[in-house]
Every structure is written in C-alpha cells, then in structure tokens.
Amino acid sequence: MADTPITIREALSAALREEMRRDERVFIMGEEVGVWGGTYAVTRGFLDEFGEKRVRDTPIAEMVIAGAATGAAMAGLRPVAEIMTINFAFLALDAIINHAAKVRYMFNGQFTVPLVVRTTTGGGKQLGATHSHAPEVIFAHFPGLYVAVPGTAYDAKGMLKAAIRDDNPVLFVEHSTMLQRRSPVPDDLDFTLPIGKSDVKRQGDDVTIVTYQKGLEWSMAAAEQLAKEGIEVEIIDLRWLRPLDLEPVFESFKKTNRCVIVEESLPHFNVGAEISAQLQEHMFDYMDAPIKRVSAMDIPLPYSRELELMALPSADKVVAAVKEVLGG
Amino acid sequence: MVTNLETSQQIDDAGIDLETKTLLEMYWQMVRARRLDERTWVLHRQGKIAFHISGIGHEGVQVGAAMALRRGYDYAHLYYRDLAFALVLGYTPREWMLSVFGKEGEPTSGARQMPSHWSNKKQGIMPASSPVATQVPQAAGMALASKLRGEDRVTLVSLGEGSTSEGDFYEGLNWAGVHKLPMICLVENNIYAISVPMHLQMAVPNVADRAPMFGIEGVVVDGNDVLASYRAIKEALERARSGGGPTLVEAKTYRPVPHSSDDDDRTYRSRDEVEEWKKRDAIKRFETYLLDKGILSGDMIEEIEGRVRLEVDEAQAAAEAAPYPPAENALFPVYAPADEA
Ligand SMILES: Cc1ncc(C[n+]2csc(CCOP(=O)(O)OP(=O)(O)O)c2C)c(N)n1
Ligand SMILES: [Mg+2]
C-alpha cells in the first residue's frame, strides 16, 4: 500500500473515479463538469471514461442540479452534484435544506437521499463578495445534512469516498485556493475515513487551536512562528462541521486550558460560536482564559487585493490571538 | 423578423431614420468598446490585472440597444458582458480601467466589487450581480415601481442565453407578464454558456420562443446588426410605454474570444467556427454599410481610431498611476444610517 503524494485536486478526482468504477449508480452532474472537465478540473477525462450518461453537463440552474439530484437519489441512484461555488448553492437552498436534509425524517424513513453535493468555498482570489464567502457553517445548522470540510489531500480522498458510500446527503466543501496542496494518500481502493471524526494535526501543550480547511493552513503557519518563540499549539482539524466531533477538542483543552478557533466564516453565529458555547458548557472547570475567535471581518468580502486580504484571517492574526489567550 | 444568420453580411436599415451624427456615434461607440476591451486582454496577459470578462463580439446589439433607450431615464439592469452598453450610457474608459486595476477612485463600488458589475444610479444603471439571472426578478420590481409612480420609464434587463435556464428568468418574466410591466428582457445569445453549447441548455431553437408562456411578445433579432438591434429595442420600448407589457428580445450573436481570462475556448469549439463568425463581426459590417452610404471614409476611420486610442491610453495611464484604495475603504458602512431613508 504505497502512499503517493498527490494534490487535493488529484485526490478528489481519484475518489470520484474509484467510486464511479465501483458502483455504477454513481453519476456526476453540474455546470461545466463534462466537456470542460470541471471548473477546477476535478472531472477532467471523466466524460471520455464514463460517457455522457454518467457525466452530465447541466444548464445553469443550481435548483435543477440539487433538486434533480435529490430526486435521482430518492429513486435509487447515487448522484454527485457539483455546484461551482457554495455562494451559488444559495440558489439551491430549498432543495438541499428543505428536502434532501429532511425527507428521511419527515417521511418515516421511507426515502433516503444518498446525495453528495460537491462545491468550492473561500476567498482570496479577488472575485468579490458574491463569489468568495465561506458560508458552509450555514449548512451545518440543519440536521439531516452532513458537511465535509477537508483540508488535506489525504482527508479529501478518504472523506469523499466515505461521503459517496453513505446513505445521507453530504455537502462536500472544497477550498478553491487549496486544490494544489499535496500530501501522501493511500492508493487502496477501499481507503475511506469515518464520517464525523476530527483529527489532531499538530501536538502541543500551550494552546488548543480548533480549525478546518483554510484555517488549518493559517494555523499551521502560525504554529511555526509561535514555536520559534517557545509556544507550542495543538491543532485540531474538525474535518466535518456535521457531525461535529469535539472529543479531541475537549481532550486537548483539558491539557491546554486555552482555545483559539480559526475559520474563514463571518464572525457572527459561526463555528467558533458553537465551539465556545460547548467548551463553556462541558469544560468550564478547565478554562483559564477567554476563548478567542479568528474569522473574516463582518463585511461583504471586498474585491481590491489589499482590502480583501485585510478582511480575511491570516497566520499573523492567529499568532496574535494565541498570544492574547496566553495573556501576552 | 429573423435575419438570415447564415449568410447575412448586410445591415437591415428598414424604417431606420437616424441622423448621420447618430450613426457615426454608434460606430464610434462600437470601436471604442472594442479597443478598450482588447487593451484589457493585453493588460491581463501582461499580468497587470487579475481578471477580465469580455464583451467583444456583442458590440452591435449592445450599442444598438443602448442608443434606443432614453439615456439616464430608462433603467438598465445589465450583465457582465455589457461593456459597450455601459459605455453608451455614460460609463467611462477611465472608470473601467480603475475598476479592472481595483484602484482608488473607482466610482461603481469603491473597488469593493469586481469589474464588469456595472452600477451608476445617475445613469440609470442598476447594480449588477454575479449569480446569473438574479437581475430579472429585480428588473420586474423596478418596472413595477415605475408603473406605480405613473412614470413612462422602461426597465431593460439583459442576460446571456445560458442564464435563461435559471428559475429567476421564468419567475421574473412570468410576473412581469401578469402585470404587463414596462420591461424589456434582452437575451444576448452567443450560443455558449462557457463551454456548454446551447442545445444542452434548452430544447427550443430560440430563447424568444418561450415568450408565449409568459403571455408576452417575443422577438428574434440579428445581434451583429446594430441597426436591427436598435429597431427591435425601440419597438419594445414603445410597446412597454404604451401599456403593451414586456418584450423578450433575443439577439443572436457570438463571442469570438474566451468566456473570461480563466477560460480556454479551444477545448470546446473549433477555430473554423470562430473564424466563420468573425466574418459577421458587427463592427466590420456596420463599417462597410457606412462606407457604402458615403457616411464614413477611410480618413474618418483613422481619425476615430486615433481618438479612441488616445482615450484608452489616457484611461490606462490614469489607472496605473492611481493608488490602491486605503484600508478604510473596506469599512464602508454596511447599513444605511437611520437618517438616510
Ligand atoms: C447562479 C450562477 N451559476 C453559475 C455561474 C457561473 N457562470 C458565470 S457566467 C456563466 C455562463 C453564462 O452563460 P450565458 O448566460 O450564455 O452568458 P454568456 O457568458 O455566454 O454571455 C456561468 C455558468 C454564475 N455566475 N451564477
Ligand atoms: Mg452565452
């Protein structure tokens, strides 16, 4: 079992290809997925291998992509629907949240919705506020939907394969600026990762950082800077916003007694708000300092380069927050 | 009403009664938009700007339509390809350059929104969105506002043919039809939505064929013919003003360049196809027409090109010299203060 270093893009492609070969009920639909090979080239070559029947270019109609995929899933297929950016998934919220997420519960388990909606998130590419937000937390508000937010190629592959095999609807969120990130990934065709398990990405005793996806990158960079000053942070990568696995967070917090939550979301009602609430509820006795959140500024993300950078989190902002919870 | 798209190199000027001055203004506006757009591609290739989405090829329908509007009075809710349209309505090459560079002084958005998201309240240009087709229901609402106020203002909303696959298009036009709103929906049909050809977007040969389901008028026009486009919009405008309700105008055209600076169109269409369409280029056609009529001469073309180059050069130089916006620009208040209403 060789672990080959590949990019997140390649990991996603491999996961999709392997699952399509494994199960012919799996098919892909979305804008630009066929001839063009996907907005981020994840499905390049798929049309040739699997044909038009299983790789379907759709009209520009997010409601059809998510709604028809929900219907196909209820009728026994296993669609992987692609929506160009999570910001356009707003046009399909009714299908995803009112239906895909609720049908099993509302109709007494008669129908399951084995649907994966793949989409990209995140800013940093000067595409303005209607393309660039990272609003995945909104989707995690609703029971019935799983929300995947992988931050490495290893996780992306194992999580996507698990999502496709699962019988529940999954919003699978990929960060549009991280697709070239490389890490070793097993070639094993049955490599999957459990749904709803977070992961310790770095060990340390001083402060717990809870994060995911782009936040992982900022946090890892911050950890290096901090290590030079003798501060060792522990980084927990959530990997899933639903199911939310806080066990490793609690374990870490018992040791560090301090926590910073890092995410690209807007600051109100975000992941950090949920985790802070749970920490004070379950870990009150271990708490030595107020919990800090690092997130985007509370504005629609601006276009111009410097303004956009200012509005987004950064490694420096993480460093500052860690020092603050250490009382520095 | 359909011009023969396969063969037409002509300009259909039936019933057009425009002054020479106006015809020359149309020509100048088309050339101006084209040269500004071409320069922007160069800036992108030079790595000076982040992104460009181009209007090249669409100048005929855009200039024709914009010239038919009562500029500054009628509302125009445009989409990203409408550079020529916006220029006719009063947007300037300098503002464009500030926008693509994301520089201080960019008037549309304070450099907070991407280029090609037109907006100028004084010029009647409504704020353009990125999610496609969202402007259609909004346009219906604007048309309602004019109607309720008893004004004869008309709202023109534009979008691409691929974008008509969105629910917003149907929901907006249906409602506009129900209330006979003074509205024109202009579809610039360039037969591709990025890589996806028209036959994967819809099963009808013309977008305008859908008009009857909204109970409104549908018209197909050759979008590479500036005068035919002008006439189609003029007629739709008259209908809207006289209480006849909305018109769905479909302008057949082509985009001879990639969808945007992120696209490579060689992956999904042949060079032969592109070359074939270039022969029907709106500017060349109108130029030939004006030369034949003796309205334009070689010398005049040279003068116009020189004037346009100067304007584009100056616009670029001004934007390059301008500073980037200060950080406070990001802190523009998201909410209107209590006393602004
Ligand atoms: C809701 C939404 N989905 C997808 C996109 C991505 N997108 C931008 S332009 C475009 C193609 C539009 O094609 P068409 O309407 O034919 O206009 P054209 O670009 O050809 O002028 C797509 C899919 C978007 N902007 N908004
Ligand atoms: Mg098009």
pLDDT in tens, A58-72: 999 999 999 999 999
Q: Which is it for the CA torsion B232, B238, B240, B243, positive or negative?
A: negative
The answer to whether position B276 is within a domain reads no
Ligand 1 atom having least distance to the Cα of B81: 21
Catalytic residue among B45, B73, B268, B324: B268
Contact B25, B67 (CB under 8 A): yes
Query: Which residue type is seen at A205?
Result: D
Contacts 24+ apart (CB under 8 A), A100-104: A100/A66, A100/A70, A100/A73, A100/A144, A100/A145, A100/A169, A101/A142, A101/A143, A101/A144, A101/A145, A101/A169, A102/A142, A102/A144, A103/A70, A103/A74, A104/A144, A104/A168
- Best mutation site among A91, A133, A305, A307 for testing chain B: the one with the most B CBs within 10 Å? A307
C-alpha to C-alpha distance for B140 and A11, rounded to whole angstroms: 45
- Residue B255, domain extent: 2-13+20-263+295-325
Please check whether residue B129 lies inside any domain of the structure.
yes
Task: Spell out the residues 6+ positions from residue B73 whose beta carbon is closer than 8 angstroms to its own.
Answer: B124, B153
* H helix or E strand, kind and range, residue A121: strand A116-121
- Per-residue pLDDT reduced to its tens digit, B228-282: 999 999 999 999 999 999 999 999 999 999 999 999 999 999 999 999 999 999 9
Determine, for residues B166 and A60 on separate chains, whether the beta-carbon distance falls below 8 Å: yes
* A221 pLDDT higher than 90: yes
A285-324 per-position pLDDT tens digit? 999 999 999 999 999 999 999 999 999 999 999 999 999 9
Cβ neighbours of residue A230 under 8 Å, at least 6 residues apart? Answer: none
Average pLDDT, chain B: 95
B332's tokens: 């523009």
- CB-ligand 1 contact for B194 (6 Å cutoff): yes
Atom of ligand 1 nearest to the CA of A91: 1
The DSSP H or E segment spanning A113 is none
CA angle B66, B282, B219 (to 5 degrees): 60
* CATH assignment at residue B150: 3.40.50.970
Q: H helices within chain B, ranges in order?
A: 20-45, 59-68, 83-89, 93-101, 135-149, 167-178, 211-214, 226-241, 271-278, 282-292, 298-321
Question: Does residue B282 sit within a domain?
Answer: no
DSSP state of B277: H
**What is d(CA A21, CA A15) in angstroms, rounded to the nearest whole number?**
10
Residue B220, φ and ψ in degrees, nearest 5: -110, 135
Question: What is the nearest CA distance from B190 to chain A, expressed in angstroms?
Answer: 15
pLDDT over 90, % of chain B: 94
The size of the A-B interface in CB pairs under 8 A is: 113
Ligand closest in space to the Cα of B194:
1
Is residue B52 annotated as a catalytic residue, yes or no? Answer: no
Single pTM value for the model = 0.95
Q: Is residue B271 part of a domain?
A: no
Q: Give me ligand 1 centre to Cα B282, in Å.
A: 23
How many angstroms separate the Cα of A212 from the Cα of each of A28, A217, B39, B97, B308?
26, 8, 41, 37, 51
Domain membership of residue B165 (yes or no) is: yes
Q: How far apart are CA B301 and CA B29, in angstroms?
A: 13
Instruction: Tell me what the mean pLDDT of segment B59-86 comes to.
Output: 98
Q: Is position B82 within any domain? A: yes
Residue B109 forms contact with A (CB below 8 Å): yes
Work out how many domains chain B is built from and give that number. Answer: 1
| B111 at interface of A, judged by CB pairs closer than 8 A | yes
For residue range A109-167, what is the model confidence (pLDDT) as tens digits?
Answer: 999 999 999 999 999 999 999 999 999 999 999 999 999 999 999 999 999 999 999 99
CA B201 to chain A, closest CA, distance in angstroms equals 5
Ligand 1 pocket: which of A35, A84, A85 to mutate (most atoms within 8 A of CB)? A84
* Banded model confidence at residue A175, pLDDT cuts 50, 70, 90: very high
- Per the domain annotation, does B199 fall within a domain? yes
Residue B122 CA, distance from chain mean position = 18
- Residue B286: inside a domain, yes or no? no
